[in-house]
Amino acid sequence: MWCHCRMVYLPMCYVYGKRFVGRITPIILELRNELFKVPYSEVDWDSARNLCAKEDLYYPHPLIQDILWATLHKFVEPVMMHWPGNKLREKSLNHVMQHVHYEDENTRYICIGPVNKVLNMLACWIEDPNSEAFKLHIPRIYDYLWVAEDGMKMQGYNGSQLWDTAFAVQAIAATDLIEEFAPTLKLAHDFIKNSQVVDDCPGDLSYWYRHISKGAWPFSTADHGWPISDCTAEGLKASLLLSKISPEIVGESVEVNRLYDAVNCLMSWMNENGGFATYELQRSYAWLEAYQPCRDIRRYCD
């Protein structure tokens, strides 16, 4: 139910439900030869579904999970391929694309992370290769790409700009070097003010499964826009520290009502057990962990 997981499942289920297959090119054929130990046409996909290198198997599947996946694959999936199941699937996939577009539009086509960014872009292309949505996706690929010493990389986020800036401000404020770093602090202050989310996502938030965001700070940029509790706390702390410094040095302080909005967001993230959520309040139960196919993803993100 966590946003990083469900936002990957969302476009993935669309691609799978559409049974999309890309054009088979010479590069695709070369990749198949490189990636598979046996000829692609001889792969036993039923047994391959549960194959995993022991080094990567952090959490072996419980029996109940294997039973559930096998049931879905052997009995439910055939029903969804023929009438009337395929009509239900078609309606469901149209609903899925509404949520894909909502995520795209509310993150300026950056999406919450690089995996769902690529899959959302693919889903938009499958829906309509000439769509405005697909065209808007293309330039935002570069938000995730950077060239390292050993080649092209894709980041796990579109950066950590707000997070880094807030800590840099706190570090400088803890010293007696404020005047020496005056230009840096002013630029940082402007960035923090410009990075705060000033509105909630449009529409009925419960329909779109979204939490309030007005007053929060993201991990990276305002364009990304997903509100995060610890980033909001650090953005608020940095803003309060900067408000104690002369406006002649760092510029005008964040407006008081925007500070109140940030506090409101922070308090809204408190779960019933007293802990604070990352992006959204707790939405599920501990027993669902038995059905959780993405624990390695969550472990990585944590």
Quote the CA–CA distance of 42 and 25 in Å, as a whole number: 19
* Residue with token string 């199941």: 85
* Residue with token string 């202050």: 189
Q: How far is CA 21 from CA 17, 24, 69, in A?
A: 11, 8, 22
**Residue 224 near residue 244, CB atoms below 8 Å:** no
Quote the CA–CA distance of 12 and 74 in Å, as a whole number: 19
Active site residue 223: no
* Residue with token string 């969804």: 80
Strand partners, 151: 148
Tabulate helix, strand, coil % of the chain (nearest 5). Answer: 55, 5, 40
Quote the CA–CA distance of 185 and 83 in Å, as a whole number: 63
* Options 230, 261, 296, 302, the catalytic residue: 230
Catalytic residues: 230
